[in-house]
Chains A and B, each alone.
Chain A
Amino acid sequence: MNPSIRGRLIPLLLALFALFASPALHANQPLELLFLYGSEKKAWISDVTRDFNRRGFKLQDGRQVQVSAEPMGSGATMQAVLDGSRQAHLVSPASGVFIELANADWQQQAGRDLVGETRNLVLSPVVIAIWKPMAEALGWGERALGWSDILHLAKSDTGWGEYGHPEWGPFKFGHTHPKHSNSGLLSLIAETYAASGKTRGLKLSDVESPATLEFVRGVESSVVHYGRSTGFFGRKMMANGMEYLSAAVLYENMVLESYGEDLAHPLVAIYPKEGTFWSDHPVGLVERDWVSDAHREAGWRYMDFLMEKAQQEKALQYGFRPADVDIPVADTFTAARGVDADEPKTTLRVPPGRVIRAIMDELWVDVKKHANVVLVMDTSGSMNGTKLERAKDGAVELVRMLGDADQLSTMFFSSNPYWMSRDQLLGPSRAEAEQQIRNLRANGGTAFYDAVLMAKDHLTEHAVPGTIGVVVVLTDGEDTHSRADLDGLLEGIRLGPANSVRIFPIAYGEGASMQVMEPIADATQVKAYKGSTENIEKIFSDISTFF
């Protein structure tokens, strides 16, 4: 470069740099703080964050702080920050267990913690939420109840008949997937503690003991299905009543919230006598290189705000016990709302990271209820091209997420349904199943209803005791070739003593209507999805957390 030009250019660049780096310019651009948090406290966080942003807090350099608060599953939050897919500055999973795990992972990768010093925002114990009449049949209010009662019910051949209520049928239990959700993980650890008879000092030898395996497998045998979101369980339980679930592992705040709903029976909380965990909602700054000093300053400012009395008092309205101990709770947490301010009596100690890993990676594989899945894919002509290719990617993702001991059948339909494979144990046949999916070609009409009925009939006729029977069906348009109609389909799939198959329908693309999918999902008490080429992999992944 010509020296004279360089001589003029460098001061100009320096001046520009100085201008852009100046506080005056900064002051016009708000600093955005990305806050990922456990979705259980969404209502409270949305409420108070709105207030925070409205007040326009400023940093020392003059910039205003804007908090972008996004609810997310606790496991997903920590994973996203670990792998850098979400560059959050502040995180708050539902419990310290997830911080412990993520810090252990980051220590191995980078030699330091992922999240620094934390503070607890609000508290809510993990409870077994159960319908009040059922709780009373077990002796609720008269004796301490716990995991041993759940195990007894789960193993009983007569279910609620043993407690004088054969009309309630078998005991149906639910908790979220331990690999995806805080309450599911805490539930599994609590079951392990209960099996060991300990309340602290859980060791690898406890996790590996045959007695633990038998206990936890016994409890898990009564699980109807798993899931990603504790909130989903709570809402479905309230919407579908005693026939859907007898009890589920939820947070205490959700039991309190249920008193705002119009329910046939109230929910109450069992605080397991063997001990439970507190969902303590720790909040802390992320220690990654995308977090600047300004983010730290903003983060502390926001955390201080959340801990102020006004915000803490608001948490009570959403069913949480405030972390600020100066705020009394006795008047809010009463038996009239199914909860008890004097409970829990015993808190379990969070085990070290390696013990949690063993529970998640080894015990869980052994005790998890296996799935018997039929994957049904639409290959009608309208699926041709990118649409089918992306759907195949999603379906392959589902196959990859299933366990070796799960069973898979695959079916495709256009003008008629056809089996590709039936009742294959996935361990030895996973690669073959993926290949079959990759080989699908689009052509012909849409016999959607017939395909669903055929898949469901296959599962009821070839039911494998102790497994979760599931149909996952994807379609991109209206039915054109079935002999059955929607009413006939809904009648045929309805849950009952002889049918426990859950059907997850995916309306893929613009042609498929959620008005058809939702009644199908509702009839089997699960969830319908609206899919596109952009999100189809995520949808299959989400569905896999149910079983």
Chain B
Amino acid sequence: MLNKMLKGIGLAVLATGLLAAQTAVQADWSAEWKTTLGELWSQTKAKTQETLDPEKFRPAKPVQIGIAYGTEKRKWFQWAVEEFAKTPAGQNINVELIPMGSVAGGKAVLSKNQDIHVWSPASSMVEPLLSEPWEREHGKSPILSDAPLALSPMVYVMWKDRYDAFVAKYGALNWKTISQGLQEPTGWAAIADKPEWGIFTFGHTLPTHSNSGLLSLVLMGYDYFDVMRSLKHSQIMQADFIAWLGETAANMDTEETSTGNLMTNMLRYGPSTLNGVMVYENLALSNLGTAAGRWGEIEVVYPERSVWNDNPFYILDTPWVTKDQQDAAKLFQSFLLSEPAQRVARDQYLFRPANVDLPIVESGSAFERYKDVVKIDVPAIRRPTEEVLNQLMQLWKRTQ
């Protein structure tokens, strides 16, 4: 298993680096972040090195593994399953992909869904939602090993004409101004003298089911208190914050449980349904071209405070997962982290590689193509405590 402490430090360093970015010491932060990620990668590689020998670990008989995963990785995973099956190691391994919201995936493991042998949520931020209750009940971790597969920060996406009008009115796009827009009774009539655009609409996924919805709530808290780290339980229990969150949540679109579907719905139904959403960077970038053919251009906006999604690959250590299945999962993990698979994740599906042997931007890479849009150094918040996460979810539930 990857050293959790190192990972915790890694995230903390990321956050510290972001603070540095805030104070314009961006170069230091970037270097630190890259070092941290480099260490994470070395750990992952060392731990999985043995599994890279397909002769040693090739299952003697067919093994089936089920992976509950967030739909933001759907296309990459589908590609990987197909390609993995062609490798010597993959020939006896049948990988079944089970699309499921990140939070919902953890809940399914908690309820002992025996089809799931690997849980790959969008972010390690949701890991305690499974681990802590499981450990309380069973006295041990439900996770055998983990490894970040690919990185993607949270971004806002808005229809360009709406974004321009919004920023002209409020100066910036952040959760505070989004909340203001949502509470305009006459919507775009008041924001931009455009009554024909209807009311202002914005969406994130359902926080009780999906990682990006939960992270949106987290970022709302950080934006409200204007901090980059250490959002405290006592802060989010302040009456003014609770009232603000309630007013914001009451007008937010949060029905969708999958981030991939939320992005698709925005493109399908256009500004008539959603003026903007918070999603993963890879979903936003990979839909830049699509949007233009349906409803017009979209604008990808990096928040003042974002958060990294590391797409961890949690191989389960639960009673229904056999040793063969764990080994098979390790083989698939090795495949996903191999340079060719990471290259596909980067260039076809716009994930930033977890394998730091592969740069984000290089000649011919997809990020090079979007260099005018992409912000490489993203200021990210420090991970809040489990207590804060759960309390935010409780507060949000009360508003529904």
Contact = CB atoms under 8 A, between A and B. Distances in A.
B293 A345 contact: no
Interface in B14-31: none
Nearest to B273: A347
A330 B196 contact: no
Contacts of A342: 270, 295-296
Interface of A is mostly: loop
Nearest to A123: B268
B183 interface: no
Interface residues of B, number: 20
Contact of A325 (B198, B267, B272): B267
A144 B290 contact: no
Given A278-B269, A347-B272, A199 B294 contact: no
- Quick one: which of A328, A343, A347 has the most chain B CB within 10 A? A347
B271 A345 contact: yes
B268 A345 contact: no
A199 B272 CA distance: 11
A interface bracket (residues with beta carbon within 8 Å of B): 20 to 34
B350 interface: no
A199 B199 contact: yes
A345 B290 contact: no
- Quick one: which of A120, A323, A330, A345 has the most chain B CB within 10 A? A345
B294 A346 contact: no
Contacts of A347: 269, 272-273
A344 B295 CA distance: 11
Interface string A329-344: 1100000000001111
Contacts of B291: 325
Given A275-B198, A328-B294, A329-B294, A346 B272 contact: yes
Interface string A342-364: 11111100000000000000000
A273 interface: yes
A11 B269 CA distance: 61
A326 interface: yes
B264 interface: yes
Contacts of B198: 199, 275, 345-346
B79 interface: no
Interface string A139-150: 000001000000
A531 B282 CA distance: 60
Nearest to B266: A325
Interface string B243-280: 00000000000000000000010011111110000000
Contacts of A345: 196-198, 271-272
B293 A330 contact: yes
B269 A144 contact: no
Interface of B: 195-199, 264, 267-273, 287, 290-291, 293-296
> Top 10 A-B pairs ranked by shortest CB distance?
A328-B293, A346-B198, A325-B267, A347-B273, A347-B272, A344-B272, A144-B196, A325-B290, A345-B198, A325-B268
11 contacts: A144-B195, A199-B199, A323-B268, A325-B267, A325-B294, A326-B293, A327-B293, A329-B294, A341-B294, A346-B199, A347-B269
Given A120-B268, A325-B291, 5 more contacts: A123-B268, A325-B267, A326-B293, A342-B296, A345-B272
